[in-house]
Amino acid sequence: MSSKLTSIAHDKLESLLNSRDSARIADVSSMLNDMPPADVAHLIESSTPKLRHILWQLVDTEIEGEVIGELSEELQSLFLAEMDAAEVAVMTEGMADDDIADILQQLPGAVTQEVLASMDQQDRARIERVLTYSEDTAGGLMTTDAITIRARVTMDVVLRYLRRHSEIPSMTDSLIVVNSQDQYIGLLPLRTLLVSDPSASVREMMITDIDPIPANMPDTEVARLFERNDWVSAPVVDENRKLLGRITIDDVVDVIREDADHSFMSMAGLDEEQDTFAPILRTTPRRALWLGINLLTAFVAASVINLFQETIEKVVALAVLMPIVASMGGIAGTQTLTVLVRGIAVGQISRSNQGWLINRELAVGMINGFLWAAVVGVAASLWFNDWTLSLVIAIALIINLITAALTGATLPLFLNRIGIDPALAGGVILTTVTDVVGFLSFLGLATLFYAR
Amino acid sequence: MSSKLTSIAHDKLESLLNSRDSARIADVSSMLNDMPPADVAHLIESSTPKLRHILWQLVDTEIEGEVIGELSEELQSLFLAEMDAAEVAVMTEGMADDDIADILQQLPGAVTQEVLASMDQQDRARIERVLTYSEDTAGGLMTTDAITIRARVTMDVVLRYLRRHSEIPSMTDSLIVVNSQDQYIGLLPLRTLLVSDPSASVREMMITDIDPIPANMPDTEVARLFERNDWVSAPVVDENRKLLGRITIDDVVDVIREDADHSFMSMAGLDEEQDTFAPILRTTPRRALWLGINLLTAFVAASVINLFQETIEKVVALAVLMPIVASMGGIAGTQTLTVLVRGIAVGQISRSNQGWLINRELAVGMINGFLWAAVVGVAASLWFNDWTLSLVIAIALIINLITAALTGATLPLFLNRIGIDPALAGGVILTTVTDVVGFLSFLGLATLFYAR
């Protein structure tokens, strides 16, 4: 059933929904509401702006909350903007508190307060606790929905206690052991509970070698811990080891995906929250800004060329070959930059090994510089039958590839240290450097050599 | 304890290990072997080539298997190349079968056969079953280590059965219900088992609305299913619904990470398995190849400029401004390309919505084209006091930004359809197009306009 709707072509779906044939629209609506919420969200995200509004209106109120929880932030805020506080309050009923917090964070402050006011006191206190932490920290990722037990009880008591619970929260692979002050002591995996002697105590069987996650840990670091330790869920504590909640792998997967998207999109000056099917008016401004920044750097490069008008007039072949020097520098530098940005993102680069890395890149840059200088030098002399030109471009290429390696390796480290995202700013600065050095070395050397 | 070693600077660690002070080396060794295997793997991956060999030798044989399982393929094959079949056999004892399969896939065929021959028949049959599936399919990702139960038994029987097991495999959130032909019927979540009436039957309590994963499903699609449905593990079946094994979220997280890395690294012509600290000789060839490919495209662009030597000789300002036209096209095209490559990677783009997307990109390209054409036109006239030049660069910029949008949007769709990775090949082809069209339109128009 669920695959039926996704297999309908979007254009057919759009014309069907536009047809105002109420029987067929009801048909689509019932198919839609039979799909898993994540699939509905994916369908909406893959739809054009007009269609997604129609689809959203067809979603039943009961699953609205689950669907919106699966949408990207950009689309969440789009749909939330059309809802009033009462509607948001109805929608969030029964949702997990971390998902509610995510939604509230997108609303204007006044609306958030209204929604909170409409909740019962216990729910409200839980949500407010999550809301005190920034979205990109462990506290912002956590859910307060966790089962806690005491260390002194036996497995048998725990089993009976669970049976009295009507439901164990999803992604529960461990029960959390706390003391009377609600401080974290250890974890009792369900796997252990199920195979242990019923008379054994929690204290005997619990694992204590897993450190709880401090609430202010950045989400990227949380993701690294989950990846390295293969966790399904992990407890979150405050500075006094008091248990605040737990983080589950599904939310960590979202962090991993977002971090990866961030690096990928930033390299092209795009926002990782960029909605693939955003309308023209929402896409254009950011793109225009990025083009504007790059235009400034292009003018810088042009003004370097401008210094050498006389030389170019004398030897026009220089104008033919100069983009080669600049572009080779840009490509080589981008490769080094990419390796560094990824190394920084996965936490492999530290002060102690960065020196080695810079040296390695420098060596690679020199080898490639000499290799391609030789090739380009020969090609240029065959093409223009001018050995001076050949020598000039070879030297300029070596200079620019070494510059590219040095800049590509040191720039992201520097930007990272001063708190600027190297994935976003690195490429623009790098290509400005390689363009300027490329044109300056090539045309500068030519001016010297042809002046003789 | 574990954080102690990672906090030692690599250079200090290297000099310490080089010191041949056996007492201190033993100290490092014992610290290393007290660390979680994933942390040891991270330390090795963040180390320079010399240091990582020393560290690997200090790893105890018992945890070697776990450490190697956490390393990237590049490093796995590096260390495996130094081991003989007997050593590999010892190392893989007690490892999960999917991890063993991953390792065996990196060994020469003869060594793999030797290792398999040294296993007992049951283990060997299990591993061979995993090995029949390609690494990047569900079959290659799965472990055969799963607990299966029958539908007719009661919760109580299941609980007693589990207690007789000394251990439940890690990442087990559900028991798999099969019939007498070993065919998949449903799942019994541990969460359900723990809260159900002991006398209820598995058939009553199991969930049957989760489709099992076919063994030949590509790993990227498996990852999407896990992400959308928030699974911790999922059953894998053959074409007759016979249960083969199960996939766990930890391996899926690796797939997500690898896919994201793949797109990111490919855009710069790098291999996602690229080891950040690979030695010079292993890094240089791939980089050199990429530069060579880009050099060819740079020569294509240069030969376009070459057609217009006479025009440039007359108006040298053309040489000054021409990189602006080419570079703006490259930047705008890369943005469109990036949006499309990501949309394809996350499965948002289909035949039915790609038309809308191409139109959107075209519209954005036109708006930005006219906007920046106006700005550049005015800037050029102020700089060179030449309205013809101004007009020529404005028109050329509009042409190139529209070309960039069209190419950036259609090229990845086309490459994807013919089975070429758009993240890898897209950028090179795109910038060749925007360079050629940029130089051709700018210099071509100039030739026309100045000839009047």
Contact A277 B357 (CB under 8 A): yes
Considering only CB atoms, B264 lies closest to which of A270, A318, A342, namely A342
Interface test with B, best of A192, A284, A300 (most B CBs within 10 A): A284
Q: Write out the DSSP string of B179-203.
A: -TT-BEEEEEEHHHHHHS-TTSBHH
pLDDT given at position A272: 63
User: B427: nearest CA in chain A?
Assistant: A331
Residues of chain B with C-beta less than 8 angstroms from the C-beta of A47: 353
**Gap between the Cα atoms of B364 and B351, Å rounded:** 21
Classify the phi-psi angles of B71: left when phi > 0, otherwise alpha if psi is within -120 to 50, otherwise beta: beta
Contact A339 B195 (CB under 8 A): no
Residues of chain B with C-beta less than 8 angstroms from the C-beta of A195: 162-163, 165-168
Q: Are B36 and B236 in contact (CB under 8 A)?
A: no
Mean pLDDT comparison of A44-48, B104-108, B318-322, highest-scoring range: B318-322
> What tokens appear for A390 in the block?
């050949």
User: B278: nearest CA in chain A?
Assistant: A360
Say if residue A313's pLDDT is above 80.
Answer: yes
pLDDT given at position A8: 59
B124-173, pLDDT tens digit by residue? 888 888 888 888 899 999 998 899 999 999 999 999 999 887 789 889 99
Interface test with B, best of A6, A248, A262, A295 (most B CBs within 10 A): A295
pLDDT given at position B2: 39
> What tokens appear for A244 in the block?
């605040």
Residue A135 sits at φ, ψ, to 5 deg, of -50, -35
Residues of chain B with C-beta less than 8 angstroms from the C-beta of A431: 327
- For B337-353, what is the mean pLDDT? 89
pLDDT given at position A11: 61
Angle A249-266/A219-229 helices, nearest 10 degrees? Answer: 120
**What share of chain B in percent tops pLDDT 70?**
96
Selected residue with higher pLDDT from B262 and B151: B151
Residues of chain B with C-beta less than 8 angstroms from the C-beta of A162: 194-195
Contact A294 B228 (CB under 8 A): no
DSSP letter (8 states) at residue A212:
P
Round the average pLDDT of chain B to a whole number and report it: 89
Considering only CB atoms, A327 lies closest to which of B294, B321, B367, namely B294
User: Among positive and negative, which fits the CA dihedral B103, B104, B109, B115?
Assistant: positive
B34-44, pLDDT tens digit by residue? 888 888 898 89
A55-65, pLDDT tens digit by residue? 898 898 888 88
Interface test with B, best of A74, A95, A187, A194 (most B CBs within 10 A): A194
Domains and CATH numbers, chain B: 2-141 (1.25.60.10), 148-248 (3.10.580.10), 280-451 (1.10.357.20)
Nearest CA of chain B to the CA of A128: how many Å?
25
Strands A233-237 and A243-248: antiparallel
Contact B323 A305 (CB under 8 A): yes
Three-class SS state of A333 = helix
Q: How would you class B110 by CB atoms within 10 Å of its CB: exposed for 0-12, middle for 13-18, buried for 19 or more?
A: exposed
Nearest CA of chain B to the CA of A324: how many Å?
5
Q: Are A421 and A411 in contact (CB under 8 A)?
A: no
Beta carbon pairs, A and B, within 8 Å = 338
**Gap between the Cα atoms of A389 and A236, Å rounded:** 65
Considering only CB atoms, B335 lies closest to which of A261, A269, A292, namely A269
pLDDT given at position B77: 86
Nearest CA of chain A to the CA of B109: how many Å?
30
Contact A276 B337 (CB under 8 A): no
Which amino acid appears at position A352 of this protein?
Answer: S
User: B252: nearest CA in chain A?
Assistant: A253
Round the average pLDDT of chain A to a whole number and report it: 89
pLDDT band at A374 (very low <50, low <70, confident <90, very high): very high
pLDDT given at position A309: 94
Considering only CB atoms, A338 lies closest to which of B268, B299, B351, namely B268
B147-160, pLDDT tens digit by residue? 999 999 999 999 99
Q: Nearest CA to B410 among B322, B366, B347, B344?
A: B344
Considering only CB atoms, B352 lies closest to which of A10, A261, A265, namely A10
Residue B294's CB is within 10 A of a number of other CB atoms, namely 22
Per the listing, tokens 């996350």 go with B346
Q: Which residues pair with A154 in a beta bridge?
A: A201
pLDDT given at position B1: 34
- For A22-45, what is the mean pLDDT? 85
pLDDT band at B350 (very low <50, low <70, confident <90, very high): confident
Mean pLDDT comparison of A166-170, A188-192, B86-90, highest-scoring range: A188-192
Residues of chain A with C-beta less than 8 angstroms from the C-beta of B287: 332, 335, 364, 368
Lowest mean pLDDT among A43-47, A314-318, A386-390, B430-434: A43-47
Contact A339 B270 (CB under 8 A): yes
pLDDT band at A6 (very low <50, low <70, confident <90, very high): low
